[in-house]
Amino acid sequence: MLYTELIRLWDEGVRAVDNRDWQGALAKLNQISDPTSRTLFVTSSVHLALEQFDMAIKTLDSVIAKDERLAVGFFQRAAVHMMTNRLEEALGDCIWAQKHMRENTIIDYKQLGLRYKLYSWQVLYNAAAVHCRMGQWEKAGEILLAASQERGGRGVQVDLAMDSIARREVIAPLFVPEGVVFRPRKQDVEELRPRDFLGKPEVIISDIPHDDFGGFEPLRPQKPGYYEPKVEEGQDSRYMCVKNAYMAKSPGELTVPAGAHVFVFSQDDRNDLATVIYDGQRGLLPNFLLEPVTKKTKGKKKKYSVPSGIPLPPSLKPPTRPEAAVSLPPELPSSYTIDTCTSSPSQDIITTQSPSRQTEGADSVIVKAHYTYTVALSVPIDIEYRELQERVAQKLGQPAALIRLR
């Protein structure tokens, strides 16, 4: 049996005991397939309240079998044995209860769910009650005298019992009060209640018109009109825009506002009607009201706006690499140019700046070569191409055969 089911039935049985619904309590407690000593104690208390003493004793036998050191179980069974005039069994239970008190004057069962404190003087009191029924008045008086000397003893109750014994009157046994039973832990009962850890979802903003779905998006029911409906192969289906508002004039037609986007299943030129879906509803609209969805242009980008259906997929063409603006260094005359080429084996790009004279009559110039990085070197004005190629290759750390200058 699941522990949660045990706690549920136990709690419902205790609630029935609080309402003095004894039959309802038995119905709930008897459904527990694997009872514990504490749930069985509740059942015995219900039988005792119904004055079913034999059933109460039988249930208390099971309680003690489950927990052999439960002193309050022996105490309660001793009292029930006296009610059925089983004095020897009652006296034996009093002895066992006193033994399992383990020389304590009090045992508090609150931690186990029973709001009851068992005192050692109460066990002695019931033992004296057994001796009264056996006619052993002197023995009963001695036990009551010992009970009055116990700490926590109720002097008035013991004194009244001693007066009754002096008059040779039988005293009534003590019981655990009616309705005082073992209860499940409050934390365990609270765990049975369902908890909402995520809270209630709310739609803050949505691209879909009139959207009230607040759940997990992949679990959204695919309502026609909000998603691309399935169409037959070869069918000319698409989204179109309604030019003017239209009111339904016959069954099967739709009322659609102006500017709405509808999904067209098919168009019948003979009847001038089209089968469309709008806002989750399927119906008919005149063909002359439909026009292609207009494009909205923003800058250089073009995008179709289809608020009633799924957004159009992005373009498959990747964006081009932006062209960086190239400016001439201040020392170059505006008549000079910069060109690029690629070396055939490695496809590396090399750009060179045309030579510029630093001073009039100078015999050397500064050449800048743009590769993975930029290098500058001083060369004579009348240098040959192959020598310049070798110097640039040496500067860049590349083979001269891979470098072409333009």
pLDDT digits (tens, 9 = 90+) for 215-244: 766 666 655 544 455 555 545 557 888 888
Strand partners, 353: 338
Q: What is the CATH number of domain 224-298?
A: 2.30.30.40
pLDDT at residue 263, rounded to an integer:
82
Count of CA atoms in the C-beta half-sphere (13 A) of 308? 23
Is the pLDDT score of 353 beyond 70?
Answer: no
Say what the pTM is: 0.50
Tell me the percentage of the chain whose pLDDT exceeds 90: 37
Indicate where the chain has its CATH 1.25.40.10 domain(s).
Answer: 3-188
Amino acid at 287: N
pLDDT at residue 60, rounded to an integer:
95
| Cα 90 from chain centre | 55
57 close to 77: Cβ distance less than 8 angstroms: yes
Q: Is 69 helix (H, G, I), strand (E, B) or coil?
A: coil
Could you tell me the CA-to-CA distances from 234 to 230, 237, 265, 273, 324 in Å, in that order? 12, 9, 11, 19, 47
pLDDT at residue 317, rounded to an integer:
65
Is the pLDDT score of 188 beyond 80?
Answer: yes
Residue 339: pLDDT band (50, 70, 90) is very low
Helix (H) or strand (E) holding 18: helix 3-18
Strand partners, 238: 264
Domain 3-188 has CATH 1.25.40.10: yes
| The total number of residues written for the chain in this structure | 406
List, for residues 306-335, the tens digit of each pLDDT value: 444 444 555 566 666 665 554 444 443 333
pLDDT at residue 313, rounded to an integer:
55
Amino acid at 119: Y
Is the pLDDT score of 374 beyond 70?
Answer: yes
Residue in 40, 31, 28 with CA at minimum distance from that of residue 72: 40
Indicate where the chain has its CATH 2.30.30.40 domain(s).
Answer: 224-298
The region of weakest confidence among 145-149, 152-156, 386-390 is 152-156
236 close to 287: Cβ distance less than 8 angstroms: no
Q: Is 142 helix (H, G, I), strand (E, B) or coil?
A: helix
